[in-house]
Amino acid sequence: MTDGTLKIGMAQISPIWLNKELTVAKITSYMSDAKDKGCELLVFGEGLLPGYPFWLSLTDGASFNSAVQKEIHAHYIQNSIQIEAGDLDAITTLAASYGIAVYLGIIERAQNRGGHSLYCSLVYINAFGQVKSVHRKLQPTYEERLTWAPGDGNGLQVHPLKKFKVGGLNCWENWMPLSRTALYGLGENLHIAVWPGSEYNTHDITKFIAKEGRSFVVSVSGYMQVDDFPKQTPHYDKIIENASQILANGGSCIAGPDGEWVVPPIIGKEGLFTGVIDYNKVLEERQNFDPTGHYSRPDVTKLSVNRERQSVVHYF
């Protein structure tokens, strides 16, 4: 690869659902595969570690004070990720060893918020194995609010990666125009959008953001079948009773700064899929449109962004 090109790996996979140790092992195996394929950036789907809360829509997740919901939620907390406790160490060590940057969707058990609430977070690990940002999803979507807390702006950051500046958002955050603009204003030209899965989510928004931002956009989804629910999961029978065979069918894809496909949506299969992007294409498309540059009017409209990490208690 030249300095202006970047090979991207999209890990469209299922977790070992709600089992963080086994899911970490699966993630590291895909990192090894990505190294063998020459990937320089590897992206995993939303909340992959340890898994998306599919049970909410399958087991009457809004039932108040339900013993079933409490027990599943407690199991989710037990398998969520505390970065400060070293839960990502195996992944960061391998990233440094392989020289691969990683975007990984996790369910974070945030220590600075007491350690009992969960956040859908997108973690960026650079090729030196350093965690450079942890973006907590600003607004969980619909039933997700029954198990995830709303995040903050601290993770609205971009990172240098060869000639690119890469940033990312979780799932329907990608529909939030001001969140996208916050990243555009930092010079983002490679946008990562992570999803639990399903091509109906990724097909339109991936091309739209690419054309709006005149940037490359990589959408990476999970893939989940009913057989991927471990039988040891609390209330397993209730969860699978109303589950369809395919809960997340993938849809991972890459669009270029002109809005055309580099890799069209990949549907109905698990695996590591790759694509190569060329930085010069960004410069070509910025000639006629640049949303926070020459085609903006900051004297008329302007965005303010609060990137302070939010916490209820400040200790001095």
| Catalytic (active-site) positions | 46, 137, 171
Residues 130/100, Cβ–Cβ less than 8 Å: no
Other C-beta atoms closer than 10 Å to the C-beta of 306 total 9
Give the pairing of strands 190-195 and 101-109: unpaired
- Maximum Cα–Cα distance across the chain: 58
Q: In the structure encoding, which two tokens stand for residue 112, read together?
A: 């600075």
Kindly give the interhelix angle for 199-213 and 177-184, rounded to the nearest 10 degrees.
Answer: 50
Contacts of 24 by beta carbon, 8 Å cutoff, 6+ apart: 49, 87, 90, 91
Q: Whose CA is closest to 224, among 259, 201, 198? A: 198
Helix/strand/coil for 24: helix
Other C-beta atoms closer than 10 Å to the C-beta of 192 total 24
Strand extents, DSSP E, 171-270: 190-195, 216-221, 223-225, 246-255, 261-267
Q: Whose CA is closest to 310, among 154, 170, 80? A: 154
Other C-beta atoms closer than 10 Å to the C-beta of 93 total 12
Rounded (to 5) percent helix, strand, coil in the chain: 30, 30, 40
